[in-house]
Structure 1
Amino acid sequence: MQLLRIGEAGAERPAIRAGDDAVFDLSTITPDIDGTFLAQDGIRRARAAAEAGELPALNTEGQRVGAPIARPGKVVCIGLNYSDHAAESGLDVPTEPVIFMKAPYTVVGPYDDVLIPRGSSKTDWEVELGIVIGQTGRYLDSPETALDVIAGYTVSHDVSEREFQLERGGQWDKGKSCETFNPLGPWLVPADTVDDPGNLGLQLWVNGELRQDGNTKNLIFGIGHVVWYLSQFMVLEPGDLINTGTPAGVALGMAGQPYLKPGDVVELEIDGLGRQRQVFVQA
């Protein structure tokens, strides 16, 4: 079972995708897939309604797929969370999670165009496991109990502009919060249906060429640890998105640094969580 949102930007319809690929309308259960839905046991209610045959079928042919959650309250990111990525970036492996934020408006659909910012010469790609929070988390007791506040997992593309991020002074956020810089989805996969989120393959291709090929088993700080750690510094709220870091293979660390240019096509996939595809266009 997966949750998704179908329709034009700003007018998406909540839906559920069953095991046989049939898609059903969730509008009778909730107006949207958002923090309120997640906090009010929405995933269980949606599953029960689908299993009881209470939801109408939804024709998705030719329809846009939006991000699987409405605009999150915040997008929290973990930097340098794979040792091979830290090495290719020329940075030390962190002793505590590196935290930065992305603006919530960066979140777009998994197949939407991505805008290369004006003045950009170093727009880069990063495939990441996204965590969606389903319950309020503050001062969580342990990495093990932190898993209980996770609603589900999704594919997240943490697009980055490296000059803005690393060469323009200040924090990383200015290279991370450009418009359309976080394609998300296609689905939100409930946490209780993902056997082992700590052992998922992640791949990314640019114009058909494999650039990233990693696995979440190589995270420096695991999923439970990341959620627990963040809860010691901020309140995690239903609908929040956490990007957990990217493996090696970004343009920044490659010979010649082949940054993205207009017309480039990026595809990315995580085991069991679906696949994205974006065309990069000039803003």
Structure 2
Amino acid sequence: MRHVIPLPVQPTVPVAHSDAQFPVRRIYCVGRNYAEHAREMGGTGREPPFFFMKPADAIVPVAEGETGQLPYPSLTADLHHEIELVVAIGRGGARIAAQDALAHVWGYAVGLDMTRRDLQAQMKKQGRPWSIAKGFDASAPIGPITPAAQAGDVHRAALWLNVNGQKRQASCIDQLIWSVAQIIEHLSAAWTLQPGDLIFTGTPEGVGAVQRGDVLEGGIDGLGTLRLVVQ
């Protein structure tokens, strides 16, 4: 087959403790999936899950032991961090029951859902979609993906984020309003999941702004750390 333009580069994420790569097809994100974060964003706590997406090439993959470079995006003066557990799908399906969902998971990673908070607020006020606030270039930094069998009890793991050595976010995965299995059940009712899909599962309270020169370091027990410098 002859293509009229060059094929786009396939976005990939490194696999932990390996030279292998995980190809990324789609990035799904869950909004307001920790009760305290929902409240700090004006919600009421537990509510039906809702989803938004980022382009696959929004990832900023950062290998083990490295410091990634995170460009400060245009059109914002209020760039926010959101530390999250990322689920990597290895087996696709539609209308997946929660009790079967974890069999579809290939692995887990530490991720950041970077957000143009000022643009998000504007879009919300105007009743418009806020893709411009969530799906911009380099909006999805991610560390290596750890295979599920090597991740330990990730569903009870602690997650945290420091900015310039100061604690900003700290919680536990068991504080998710909707568990990983429940997220997959709800998500696969709306979209057919495929191998290569990533799911950012939501962030705990403590989100806040970052500036150029800031060092972000976050982690999840059993999945290592993710370190970046804002450029």
- Are residues 1:124 and 2:80 paired? yes
Partner of 2:51: 99
Q: 1:119 Cα deviation (Å)?
A: 2.6
Match of residue 222, structure 1, among 156, 170, 179: 179
**What RMSD over aligned residues (CA atoms) do the two structures have, in Å?**
2.1
For residues 15 and 157 of structure 1, the distance between their equivalents in structure 2, rounded to whole angstroms, comes to 17
* In structure 2, C-alpha distance between the alignment counterparts of 1:167 and 1:94, rounded to whole Å: 24
The structure 2 residue matched to 1:181, chosen from 128, 139, 162, is 139
Q: Which runs of 5+ in 2 are unaligned?
A: 1-8
Task: Decide whether the 8 Å contact of 2:154 with 2:221 is kept in 1.
Answer: no
Q: Kindly tell me the number of residue pairs found equivalent between the two proteins.
A: 216
Structure 1 pair 86/12, CA: closer, same or farther in 2 (3 Å)? closer
With normalisation by structure 1, the TM-score equals: 0.72
Give the Cα separation in 2 of the matches to 1:11 and 1:239.
10
Deviation digits for residues 106-150 of structure 1, max 9, x if unmatched? 10122321121123111000110000000112111x211011111
Give the alignment's TM-score, normalised by structure 2.
0.87
Q: 1:113 to 1:221 in 2, by over 3 A?
A: same
Name the aligned partner's letter for residue 229 of structure 1: H
Larger RCO: 1 or 2 (CA < 8 Å, sep 6+): 2
Aligned partner of residue 136 in structure 1, secondary structure:
coil
Stretches of structure 1 that go unaligned for 5 or more consecutive residues are 1-8, 18-22, 27-32, 34-68, 252-258
Greater strand proportion: 2
- Residue number among 243, 266, 269 corresponding to 2:219 in the alignment: 269
How big is the shift at 1:11?
10
1:167 and 2:125 matched: no
* Mapping 1:36-47, distance limit 5 Å: none
Q: Tell me which structure has the larger Cα radius of gyration.
A: 1
- 1:204, CA displacement in angstroms? 0.2
Secondary structure of the 1:138 match is coil
Percent sequence identity over matched residues? 33
